[in-house]
Amino acid sequence: MRILLIEDDTKAAAHLCQGLAPEGHEVQVAPDGRAGLLTAASGAFDILIIDRMLPGLDGLALLRTLRGAGVQTPALFLTALGGLDDRLEGLRAGGDDYLVKPFAMAELAARVAALARRNAAPPKATTLCIADLELDRVTRTVRRGGRKIELKPREYEVLEYLMLRPGQVVTRTMLLEDVWGFHFVPQTSLVEAHISRLRGKVDNGFSPALIHTYRGAGYKIDAA
């Protein structure tokens, strides 16, 4: 599993990485709250392990922001704050589990495994639907209102990426990294051009408009 560890204590982070490695997990470390937020927002991780007391942005605010943006990656708080009110705050902020320091590595590994089982992905949907828009992932065909829409391969991939995240704002960086495979952010209008063409094919002549632009944030597909 891919685990994002958001921990500012470098020694603690190294210890956790070493302890989780024998379980076959790939652990990436974010050293502060803001870096953790940006990295976790990609949705590329199976589990988040979050320290509550982080520089830049505390763990509670970090997870509330992620949940508000539609990121539902299972999250485990790992913290020295062990009071009842502290645990309740963590769970109410969107945490799925809460482990108090000091802890046994075996317990952490068991809790990570339990989260993975609880949140195992359901069978991959072969048809995605938003309002009267349908995307068939087997035949790679798209229809709206029963009418077939011809898309180029990259246009299809962008639309599929959006439809897999209904109601979630998808950033330009996410699209460049996950659809185009860039590991840097080039100065290009690729995303804007593809979104414009998609909007012309998917929304033009139909109601309601489904593809929305949030200036400075990204794009979302939604019937609302």
Amino acid at 195: I
Question: Which CATH fold would you assign to the domain 2-118?
Answer: Rossmann fold (3.40.50)
Q: What was the pLDDT predicted at 23?
A: 85
What average pLDDT does range 176-181 have in this prediction? 87
CB atoms within 10 A of CB 34: 14
> What predicted TM-score, i.e. pTM, was given to this entire model?
0.55
What phi and psi values does residue 87 have, to the nearest 5 degrees?
Answer: -65, -40
The domain locations on the chain are 2-118, 127-221
Instruction: Tell me the C-alpha distance between 75 and 4, whole Å.
Output: 9
Among the four given CATH numbers 1.10.645.10, 1.10.287.470, 1.10.10.10, 1.10.3720.10, the one describing domain 127-221: 1.10.10.10
pLDDT exceeds 60 at position 121? no
Peptide bond before residue 166 is cis, with ω within 30 degrees of 0: no
Q: What was the pLDDT predicted at 124?
A: 62
Instruction: Tell me the C-alpha distance between 98 and 79, whole Å.
Output: 8
CB atoms within 10 A of CB 70: 15
| Mean of per-residue pLDDT scores for the chain | 90
pLDDT exceeds 80 at position 118? no
- Determine the longest span between alpha carbons in the chain, in angstroms: 60
* Topology agreement, domain 2-118 and domain 127-221: no
Residue pair 7/29 in contact (Cβ under 8 Å)? The answer is yes
Peptide bond before residue 31 is cis, with ω within 30 degrees of 0: no
Q: What was the pLDDT predicted at 138?
A: 85
For the segment 76-116, what is each residue's pLDDT rounded down to a tens digit? 999 888 888 888 999 999 999 999 988 889 899 999 988 88
Q: What was the pLDDT predicted at 83?
A: 87
The whole-angstrom distance between residue 125's C-alpha and the CA centroid of its chain comes to 18
**Helix 59-68, helix 33-40: angle, nearest 10:** 20
pLDDT exceeds 70 at position 184? no
Instruction: Tell me the C-alpha distance between 90 and 94, whole Å.
Output: 7
Those residues with Cβ within 8 angstroms of residue 27's Cβ, 6 or more apart along the chain or in another chain? 3, 4, 5, 16, 17, 20, 21
What phi and psi values does residue 62 have, to the nearest 5 degrees?
Answer: -60, -50
Instruction: Tell me the C-alpha distance between 33 and 56, whole Å.
Output: 5
For the segment 30-84, what is each residue's pLDDT rounded down to a tens digit? 999 999 999 999 888 999 999 999 999 999 999 999 999 888 899 999 988 888 8
pLDDT exceeds 90 at position 152? yes
- Token pair belonging to 108: 């952490």
pLDDT band at 123 (very low <50, low <70, confident <90, very high): low
Q: What was the pLDDT predicted at 215?
A: 87
